[in-house]
A and B are shown apart, each in its own frame.
Chain A
Amino acid sequence: MDPVTGDLTALAPAEPPRPATSGAGDWVRRNLFRSVGDGIVTVVAAVVIGYVLFRLGRYVFVTGRWEIVRRNLGLFMYGRYPRDELWRIVVALCAISAYGGVFAGHLDRRRADAGITGPRLTPAARARDLLSRFWPLLLGVLVLLLLAGTATPWFVALAVVGAGVAGRLGGGLLGKRWLLPLLGVGVASLVAVMALLLDAAGWDRWGGLMITILLAVAGIVLCFPLGVLLALGRRAGREVNSIGGGIVVAAVVAAIPIVLLVLTGTDPSRPLTWILLGLAVAGGTGGFFVGKRSSLPLVRVLSVVYIEFFRGVPLYVLLFLSYLGLGFFLPRGFDTPGIVVRAVVVFTLFTAAYLAEIVRGGLQSLPRGQTEAAQALGLGPIRTNALIVLPQALRNVIPSIVGQFISLFKDTTLAGAVMGILELLRTSDVANAQADFAGAGLFAETIPFVMFVFWVGCITMSRESQRLERKLGVGTR
């Protein structure tokens, strides 16, 4: 410091300006060669990645025998759906796309009406934004169109995109009061689309991506009532500390295996006897601790048992059991349902347990004040949950529900393995068994193709749900 002027810079000699920290050379230094060790890592990684990319590129463009995928593209997409009725699928796709567009447009309008507007984007910036959001989907559609090699799919794609865009523009005209009618139209058009598709061929003749989507959508839609009830059941009642409630629940829970024990006989040499005894002791203990904490302990215990059972066993085994054993649990005279129904039953019961845990998280994230305010207004438990608690809780967990849908979407592959439903992955086996390709063992072409289709679907959904999560501001409110 200069003692006279107090100038702080005077003491230090003038430094030459630092070199500008931009440009390719600087980027390379900061991101690839920070130190000697880093440089070695970079070189090794570059060699390995380069080799893998080279092999991969050669495989995709040169050595891979994609003929099998090209010739069976229809099988992979819609299975054995009658070829003359494919227009139904096109209509269904256009309807779904248009509905999605209308809904998105409506949501945008609502936000605009509420005064939440994002930055105005120029058309070019908007295109860039859409491209960065949907490039995997675009890539997937492009690959499919190129593999198809004919003109018709291009027109189909154009029609679907056109329907979506038209819907988006139309949806912007619908004001706030249209939300409920729109939801009603959604349910109605889902039914209509199903009727349209099923009219030509029952779902046992569907296949490929089409049945995969049907299984996943049916599972997630049907599991909702049960899943929400289980979530509410697991949190039912007020928090109390009642030894009496614990004893009652312990007695009820332990009574079930004991009754079974009495019914089946108490032969100490049978493992079943000991298993039931163990269940009685474990159930009684668990029941006591869960039971003494709530004013509705039995409902809680039932929900907990259901949820923990289905979360503790593999889906594969449940599908197996349903495939071979579902018929046993129906009354005599009922025909055993077809394999698609047998699969959907399992997906529904299984996903309900996971959905219940997700919804429970949403319920826990709500402040107590919401329930108390509803009670203060004199709402009973049903209206409190239906009008106040659930709408907020469900909105907060939409991203997790999408995550559950993604994992259900992936799990549909098991239905093919266990039951022989012709879903995407099973189609790979069928294609490889065709006379033209039998013995060639082109699994290294068909399975990567199937993986690619799954990847496109899953990554698009997961990125969009992350975006939604940011938009909803979960955890920041």
Chain B
Amino acid sequence: MTAHATPAAPSPTPRDQRGHAAVPPWRDVRNLAWLFQFAVVLGAIALVAWLWGNYQDRSAASNIPSSFSFLNQPADFPISGSDFRRTQPVRAAIVEGLFNTLRLVVAGVILATVVGTLVGIARLSKNFLVNKAAQVYVEFIRNIPLFALLVLMYSAVVLRVLPDPRPGRGGSWEWGPVAVLNTRGIGVLWFEGGNLRFVLVVAVFAVVGAVTARLRRRRSDATGAPARTGLWGGVAGLAAAAAVWALLGLGISAPELSGLRTTGGIVMTPPYAAALAALVIYTSSHIAEIVRGSILAVPRGQGEAANAVALSSFQRMWFVVLPQALRVGVPAIGNQYLNLAKNSSLAAAIAFPELTQIVGLSVANRSPAVPAFALLLLIYLVISLVLSALVNLANRRLAIVER
């Protein structure tokens, strides 16, 4: 700052403390930044206002309501596979659709994770046949449109390969008490009393298992005895779940044919089965690539160290490689879950009554299109945000705690 140490000759321009000529406000970068921003925001607001004005104008001209009052009107359409009545309001139909979407997404996420992980590990197998089979599966499925797979599953597999239960048309495939398959539906052995009680039993299993595992871990930290969290947690969880099951008097119910209908067990409608199969196959191929990539991302030395301390190949995978691979893979796999949730909307095209299909039906039955779809977009947005929040949470739990 020596150059500015000499007192400057008095000049008409004002100067700041350092002796620089003060920037006039219309050239101050901070002011320009705010000016620029307000211009951008005003432009955006003007665009939205223009669209909104056009919309109001158009809907007034064609006498279409632009409010959400349609939610309270009777739906006037049936929902297949549900005891929904036509006189119930649209809002109830949308809740029904949300429930169906969640049924598809939850089952899809669980199955896609299992299948994807297995295929991803198979992709790294040293066995030539297993490796190549997994590679062909992944390279084929990843490079075709999900929607083509979905339509194929529905119109060429579920509706063509499965037998028609009507008399003289082929009957049904009955695989003992495990499953009954025909074009009217796919019945599978399941817990009596449906999904809610099943969820309760699973929740008891998870909570008791987790608590036991944590106690074992604490004891192991204190005494140095082997923790065996998986074994103890699993057994305790199973015992608790079995106790709850017995207390509630739940049983297992096998699917049975009664006439053309399949009763008992859990019965998947053909669109549900096709959509689930397509979503699982498609998403699992993407998850498999992520699993493979994240396992390859674990430094080789980790596996070699596990070999050096004589861990079995299962132990090496389960205790050493997978936990580290998870850290790399979780964000990407979470993205796939998000994609699966959004892709579940395609099931509307094969008439599975999920959210999009229900809203489409209600629009076809005199609900105004723009508010109805705006609501639908909002619901999907909330689902996406909740899912990504969960993924972020998992990511934070798994991240390495650095000192």
Report A's interface with B, CB cutoff 8 A. 30-32, 34, 38, 41-42, 45-46, 49, 237, 252, 270-272, 275, 295-299, 302, 309, 311-318, 320-321, 324-325, 327-332, 406, 410-411, 413-414, 417-418, 425, 428, 441, 443-444, 447-448, 450-451, 454-455, 458-459, 462
- Cβ of B10 to closest chain A Cβ, rounded Å: 30
Given contacts A38-B127, A42-B127, A45-B127, contact A462 B143 (CB under 8 A): yes
Q: Are A455 and B140 in contact (CB under 8 A)?
A: yes
Partner of A425 from B51, B148, B342, B384 at Cβ < 8 Å: B148
Q: Which residue of A lies closest to B151 (CB)?
A: A447
Q: Are A299 and B143 in contact (CB under 8 A)?
A: no
Q: Are B40 and A454 in contact (CB under 8 A)?
A: no
Contacts of B142 in A (CB 8 A): 458
CA distance A31 to B128 in the complex (A): 5
Given contacts A414-B346, A447-B156, contact A298 B151 (CB under 8 A): no
Contacts of A31 in B (CB 8 A): 126-128
B84 at interface (Cβ–Cβ under 8 A)? no
Contacts of A270 in B (CB 8 A): 68
Q: Are B127 and A41 in contact (CB under 8 A)?
A: yes
Partner of B41 from A49, A237, A298 at Cβ < 8 Å: A298
Query: Can you name 7 extra interface pairs (CB under 8 A) apart from A328-B55, A406-B143?
Result: A314-B345, A317-B376, A325-B369, A328-B54, A413-B147, A441-B155, A447-B152
- Cβ of A243 to closest chain B Cβ, rounded Å: 15
Q: Are B126 and A34 in contact (CB under 8 A)?
A: yes
Q: Are A314 and B151 in contact (CB under 8 A)?
A: no
B160 at interface (Cβ–Cβ under 8 A)? yes
Contacts of A444 in B (CB 8 A): 152, 156, 160
B61 at interface (Cβ–Cβ under 8 A)? yes
Q: Are A296 and B37 in contact (CB under 8 A)?
A: yes
Given contacts A321-B369, A413-B145, A454-B145, contact A331 B54 (CB under 8 A): yes
Q: Are B129 and A42 in contact (CB under 8 A)?
A: yes
B-side binding surface: helix, strand, loop or mixed? helix
CA distance A275 to B379 in the complex (A): 11
Given contacts A31-B126, A328-B59, contact A313 B381 (CB under 8 A): yes
Contacts of A458 in B (CB 8 A): 142-144
Q: Are B369 and A324 in contact (CB under 8 A)?
A: yes
Q: Which 6 A-B pairs have the closest CB atoms?
A: A312-B384, A458-B143, A410-B145, A31-B128, A444-B156, A314-B342
Q: Which residue of A lies closest to B380 (CB)?
A: A313
Given contacts A32-B129, A332-B61, A447-B156, contact A296 B144 (CB under 8 A): no
CA distance A116 to B140 in the complex (A): 35
CA distance A450 to B150 in the complex (A): 13
B363 at interface (Cβ–Cβ under 8 A)? yes
B107 at interface (Cβ–Cβ under 8 A)? no
- Cβ of A200 to closest chain B Cβ, rounded Å: 28
Q: Are A312 and B381 in contact (CB under 8 A)?
A: yes
CA distance A270 to B377 in the complex (A): 19
Q: Which of A252, A312, A425, A444 has the most CB of B within 10 A?
A: A312
Contacts of A49 in B (CB 8 A): 129, 133
Given contacts A314-B343, A320-B360, A447-B155, contact A454 B148 (CB under 8 A): yes
Q: How large is the interface on B (under 10, 10 to 19, 20 to 34, 35 or more residues)?
A: 35 or more
B349 at interface (Cβ–Cβ under 8 A)? yes
Q: Are B41 and A443 in contact (CB under 8 A)?
A: no
CA distance A271 to B343 in the complex (A): 27
CA distance A316 to B363 in the complex (A): 15
Given contacts A45-B130, A413-B148, A444-B160, contact A314 B33 (CB under 8 A): no
- Cβ of B332 to closest chain A Cβ, rounded Å: 13
Q: Are A34 and B156 in contact (CB under 8 A)?
A: no
- Cβ of B179 to closest chain A Cβ, rounded Å: 20
Contacts of A45 in B (CB 8 A): 127, 129-130, 133
B298 at interface (Cβ–Cβ under 8 A)? no
CA distance A410 to B150 in the complex (A): 13
B38 at interface (Cβ–Cβ under 8 A)? yes
B238 at interface (Cβ–Cβ under 8 A)? no
CA distance A296 to B155 in the complex (A): 52
Given contacts A455-B143, A458-B144, contact A314 B356 (CB under 8 A): yes
CA distance A32 to B125 in the complex (A): 11
Partner of B36 from A46, A296, A321, A454 at Cβ < 8 Å: A296
CA distance A428 to B147 in the complex (A): 13
Contacting residues of chain B (373-390) with chain A, CB-CB under 8 angstroms: 373-374, 376-378, 380-381, 384-385
- Cβ of B98 to closest chain A Cβ, rounded Å: 14
Partner of A46 from B44, B129, B344, B373 at Cβ < 8 Å: B129
Q: Are A316 and B384 in contact (CB under 8 A)?
A: no
- Cβ of B369 to closest chain A Cβ, rounded Å: 4
CA distance A413 to B345 in the complex (A): 14
- Cβ of B109 to closest chain A Cβ, rounded Å: 16
Contacts of A329 in B (CB 8 A): 51, 54-55, 58
- Residue pairs across A and B with Cβ atoms less than 8 A apart, 5 shown, are A312-B342, A314-B343, A325-B370, A414-B147, A443-B156
Given contacts A42-B127, A320-B373, A324-B363, contact A451 B148 (CB under 8 A): yes
Contacts of A441 in B (CB 8 A): 155, 159-160
Q: Which residue of B lies closest to A46 (CB)?
A: B129
Contacts of A410 in B (CB 8 A): 144-147
- Cβ of B124 to closest chain A Cβ, rounded Å: 14
CA distance A237 to B32 in the complex (A): 12
Q: Are B160 and A252 in contact (CB under 8 A)?
A: no
CA distance A30 to B130 in the complex (A): 14
Q: Which residue of B lies closest to A28 (CB)?
A: B128
Q: Which residue of B lies closest to A428 (CB)?
A: B151
Q: Are B370 and A328 in contact (CB under 8 A)?
A: yes
B348 at interface (Cβ–Cβ under 8 A)? yes
Contacting residues of chain B (126-140) with chain A, CB-CB under 8 angstroms: 126-130, 133, 139-140
CA distance A330 to B56 in the complex (A): 11
Q: Are A451 and B156 in contact (CB under 8 A)?
A: no
CA distance A451 to B381 in the complex (A): 30
Q: Are B140 and A298 in contact (CB under 8 A)?
A: no
